């Protein structure tokens, strides 16, 4: 194993049969979660489990306390937090199903601002805001949970957060043609209930929580001294991807910063967003010995408990976008595929399994050469992994029942990408046997027939490699 590489062989996400600890599997945890909710009289209503008195609560806005939790410690968090909340007699809600915690913390299913909100307590009396937050923080000291993007943190060593906001959907405001949640000022004016930490305490209120955990200041880190972040390209639980300017040289230089968040999208107690950024750092460092068709790693650092990797900004367009909007000439498409296969052969020579080969992660530069992106799930030296990584349509169906890191996953994905380029298909085939699209007229039928075998071959036990795919393409074009 390459030094520093994350050993993913022993890591299993909850949906793939992983273990929360040495004694409990996800099915047991889900059952115990429901039992705990029932023990405390909570009733399931859709996504939430609520106390019977919940609907008697009619306050429209106020302070909220949120308790976040990673799946590995969520059950313990629930068991410790609920009795404290019940003792105060406050309305609250809890995620009803244990399996939804990982989805919530991902940020893709229920929204970025909802990350971590496993338990929500509605403060109906400001005088109890600080006492209940303190009790929860003491009980949950050391428990893991992602940072809640919309909230202020109450304690640095406990997953307890708070914010002011709407309790009900009754208060709404029209903004840019959309109806959004709102809060009302003492003067009766409606303001947007913005779900971001800098708006967690409205200007017209003083927080009842007293002195809270100091915000981690990035001004003394490279994020405040060297890199000027000006756009978020993506945000999710495990971290963001940002466009930034590097101010270290005589001229400003555009770069990409990838973030790995502490406790972001945790898998058991072993892996979080930081671990996947560390993995990408190791893989990119290794790959640069074999190819320049991956981004250059410029810098790495830690800030505010998170891990960051700074990479060169690659000018170009994602192959996905080109497939959606552009009718490119045949010569251009052939050049793109040649460059793509050259890059994939370099990965094979480096003994790297990418596991995220898809048009979104292939940048086409102005000279039609390609650069491959996103290696946080890649593995080196033929390691095998027992959990899925990749996108639907870009791995063979048999992989679902075996190991998730054989190089055949990359071969299948590469064949699917080429298939899309040569047919103009905007999305991958999910059921290839029934949905074959016709190739463009300039594509030799014999090559297309071979390409179909690459896509179907894995499902009937025929194993193929990247060199063979490159060879038949070279002979055809």
Q: Give the phi and the psi of residue 291 in degrees, each rounded to 5.
A: -155, 155
Q: What is the pLDDT of residue 394?
A: 86
Q: What is the pLDDT of residue 403?
A: 43
Architecture of 222-312 per CATH?
2-Layer Sandwich (3.30)
**Tens-digit pLDDT profile for residues 117-161:** 999 999 989 999 999 999 999 999 999 999 999 899 999 899 999
**pLDDT band at 15, cuts 50/70/90?**
very low
CATH of the domain spanning 317-476: 1.10.510.10
Whether the per-residue pLDDT at 444 is higher than 80: the answer is yes
Q: Which residue has the tokens 């002011």?
A: 164
**pLDDT band at 386, cuts 50/70/90?**
low
**Tens-digit pLDDT profile for residues 62-75:** 999 999 999 988 99
Whether the per-residue pLDDT at 16 is higher than 70: the answer is no
**Domain boundaries defined on the chain:** 9-182+193-199, 222-312, 317-476
**pLDDT band at 389, cuts 50/70/90?**
confident
**Tens-digit pLDDT profile for residues 328-372:** 899 999 999 999 999 999 999 999 999 999 999 999 999 999 999
Q: What is the pLDDT of residue 369?
A: 97
Mean pLDDT score, 372-385: 83
- pLDDT winner (highest mean) among 8-12, 330-334, 427-431: 330-334
Q: What is the pLDDT of residue 398?
A: 54
Whether the per-residue pLDDT at 399 is higher than 60: the answer is no
Cβ contacts of 76 within 8 Å, gap of 6 or more: 143
**Tens-digit pLDDT profile for residues 285-305:** 999 999 999 999 999 999 988
Q: What is the pLDDT of residue 209?
A: 92
Q: What is the pLDDT of residue 50?
A: 95
Whether the per-residue pLDDT at 1 is higher than 60: the answer is no
Q: What is the pLDDT of residue 100?
A: 94
Q: What is the pLDDT of residue 221?
A: 86
**Tens-digit pLDDT profile for residues 174-208:** 877 888 889 999 998 998 888 877 778 888 999 99
Options 3.40.50, 3.90.70, 3.30.70, 3.30.2430; CATH for 9-182+193-199 is 3.30.2430
- The overall average pLDDT reported for the chain is 86
**Tens-digit pLDDT profile for residues 445-458:** 999 988 988 887 64
29-33, 102-106, 240-244, 463-467: segment of lowest average pLDDT: 463-467
Q: What is the pLDDT of residue 11?
A: 36
**pLDDT band at 214, cuts 50/70/90?**
low
Q: What is the pLDDT of residue 416?
A: 93
Whole-number Å distance between alpha carbons of 100 and 107: 11
Whether the per-residue pLDDT at 401 is higher than 60: the answer is no
Mean pLDDT score, 83-102: 95
118-132, 243-257, 319-333, 420-434: segment of lowest average pLDDT: 420-434
Higher pLDDT, 229 or 269: 229
Mean pLDDT score, 373-395: 79
């Amino acid at each position: 194993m390459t030094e520093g590489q994350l050993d993913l062989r022993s890591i299993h996400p909850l949906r793939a049969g992983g273990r929360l600890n040495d004694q409990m599997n996800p099915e047991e945890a889900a059952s115990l979660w429901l039992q705990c909710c029932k023990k405390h009289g909570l009733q399931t209503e859709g996504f939430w489990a609520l106390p019977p008195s919940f609907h008697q609560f009619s306050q429209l806005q106020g302070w909220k306390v949120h308790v976040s939790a990673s799946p590995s410690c969520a059950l313990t968090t629930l068991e410790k937090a609920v009795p404290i909340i019940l003792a105060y007699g406050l309305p609250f809600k809890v995620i009803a199903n244990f399996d939804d915690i990982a989805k919530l913390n991902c940020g893709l299913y229920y929204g970025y601002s909802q990350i971590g909100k496993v338990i929500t307590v509605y403060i109906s009396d400001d005088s109890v805001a600080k006492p209940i937050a303190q009790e929860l923080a003491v009980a949950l000291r050391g428990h893991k949970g992602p940072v809640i993007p919309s909230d202020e943190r109450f304690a640095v060593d406990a997953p307890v957060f708070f914010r002011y906001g709407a309790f009900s959907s009754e208060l709404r405001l029209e903004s840019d043609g959309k109806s959004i949640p709102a809060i009302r000022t003492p003067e009766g004016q409606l303001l947007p209930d913005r779900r971001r930490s800098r708006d967690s305490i409205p200007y017209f209120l003083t927080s009842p929580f007293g002195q809270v955990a100091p915000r981690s200041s990035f001004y003394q880190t490279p994020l405040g001294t060297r890199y000027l972040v000006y756009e978020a390209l993506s945000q999710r639980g495990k971290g963001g991807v940002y466009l930034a300017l590097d101010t270290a040289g005589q001229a400003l230089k555009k770069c990409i910063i990838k973030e790995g968040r502490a406790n972001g999208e945790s898998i058991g107690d072993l892996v979080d967003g930081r671990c996947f950024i560390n993995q990408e750092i190791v893989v990119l460092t290794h790959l640069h010995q074999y190819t320049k068709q991956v981004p250059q790693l410029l810098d790495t650092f830690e800030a505010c408990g998170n891990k960051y990797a700074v990479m060169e900004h690659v000018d170009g367009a994602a192959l996905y976008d080109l497939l959606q909007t552009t009718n490119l000439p045949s010569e251009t498409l052939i050049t793109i595929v040649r460059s793509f296969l050259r890059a994939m052969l370099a990965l094979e020579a480096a003994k790297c399994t990418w596991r995220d080969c898809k048009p979104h992660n292939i940048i086409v530069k102005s000279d039609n050469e390609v650069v491959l992106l996103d290696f946080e799930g890649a593995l080196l030296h033929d390691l095998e992994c027992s959990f899925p990584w990749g996108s639907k349509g870009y791995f063979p169906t048999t992989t679902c029942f075996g190991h998730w890191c054989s190089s055949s996953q990359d071969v299948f994905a590469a064949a699917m990408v080429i298939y899309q380029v040569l047919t103009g298909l905007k999305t991958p085939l999910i059921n290839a046997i029934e949905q074959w699209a016709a190739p463009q007229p300039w594509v030799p039928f014999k090559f297309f027939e071979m390409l179909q075998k690459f896509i179907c071959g894995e499902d009937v036990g025929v194993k193929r490699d990247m060199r063979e795919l490159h060879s038949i393409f070279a002979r055809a074009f």
